[in-house]
A and B are shown apart, each in its own frame.
Chain A
Amino acid sequence: MKTLSRRDFAVDFGLSLAAAILLPVTTARADNTALEVHIDNFVFQPQELKIKVGTTVTWTNRDDIPHTVVSAGKFRSKTLDTDDKFTFTFTDAGDYKYFCSLHPHMTGMIKVE
């Protein structure tokens, strides 16, 4: 039988509460036509994003090192220095794999439905 400690309960409750508060916001954002991806510590966050056709995605580089956002044949940002942004509007459905052409181990995915 699983026993719940007081702390676990508090954490669970806290998470539920957070989810309850965040959920409507998240849903609202999914309906939105604008979403964001952050670059932190050489990682695209979120690494995978599911969006609807017509959505605009904005990438922001929050590292101290420049990065790029490149999807072969689809889109290519200029070099993004710290706090620089790149925006692309997805008008066609499909899977868009992308990466940083300076640090190719950094990869991400936008799934457009």
Chain B
Amino acid sequence: MRGHDHGDDGVSRRKVLECMTWAGTGVLWTITGGVPRSLGIIDSAEAATAAAPGMTFLQISDSHVGFDKPANPNALGTLEEAVNKINAMPAKPSFMIHTGDITHLSKAAEFDNADRIISQSKLDVHYVPGEHDFLDEEVKFYRERYGRGTKGQGWYSFDAGGVHFIGLVNVVDLKAGGLGNLGTEQLAWLEDDLRGKSKSTPIVLFAHIPLWTVYPEWGWGTEDGGRALEYVKGFGSVTVLNGHIHQVMQKVEGNVTFHTARSTAFPQPAPGAASSPGPMKVEDAKLRAMLGVASVNFKQNEQRLAIIDTPLQG
């Protein structure tokens, strides 16, 4: 996969095997001609598809550095396991996105520890904040570290591998009884950011709280997320990547694929499966099967984007 920048389709048997090792038993989703289909548990042929050259980037989420409760007494340790997993990938991803809740309580030491571990991946990391990253009194630690060059509360866009990436902030100024919130200033910026973009430009929107309504009873959704989705409606390929709910969930609507990543810290229950969305304590042996990272592959010529969720174990 070393030649992925050159659109080379040739994949040697050895590279396929390496990628199979990485793919593990993740569920592979592909989008072909805007119609996504689940390929189920990856077998060798599908792993070969996943291994096709193109741009691959990683998503990690909800590292909650500082969390030490029974659901996972060592969240920093499992973040390090996730980074080791990334470093063991047969092909180095182009970069990484982190969809928020880097820390548990926004303490300076938590941010420092998170950075110490995540930087071991030696990848560029594009962050968006979770609500747990804005808890310090002056709400400055996140912004000092990751807010440079961003707009408003920390939103921004960039281009990579022919894809337009947009990092949004939906954890600020939440209203009583409501869900996640983007706000009019950010929505106006988003509309402006997309103006003049070719409709064939693949779009990746990423934010902490799901931009789609997963389960409003637990606040799993974004009040004005629908407005953001209006702006990307005409685009041929839209992928929405979120965290916050600490489990993999996927929905497809037209050309839009919504996907949430696992946490690297602790699992949360399926919607309505428990009395609250709080940390879910599972048997120690099962914890690492419920934590993990996501790998996203995009291949320009085939307009195909594949998301592979890989648990830390199993």
Contacts and interface: CB of A to CB of B under 8 A. Distances in A.
Interface stretch (B36-44, B140-148, B213-221, B304-312): B213-221
Interface of A: 41-43, 63-66, 70, 72, 78-79, 81-82, 97-99, 101-105, 107
Given A41-B275, A65-B278, A79-B105, A105 B69 contact: no
B175 A42 contact: no
B279 A104 contact: no
Interface in B45-90: 69-71
5 contacts: A41-B278, A63-B278, A99-B176, A104-B174, A105-B216
A12 B313 CA distance: 52
Taking residues whose C-beta sits less than 8 angstroms from the other chain, chain B's interface range is: 20 to 34
Contacts of A63: 276, 278
A61 to B, nearest CB: 11
Nearest to B217: A105
A79 B177 contact: no
A82 B105 CA distance: 11
Given A102-B131, A107-B176, A64 B275 contact: no
A98 B78 CA distance: 36
Contacts of B299: none
A41 B71 CA distance: 15
B178 A104 contact: yes
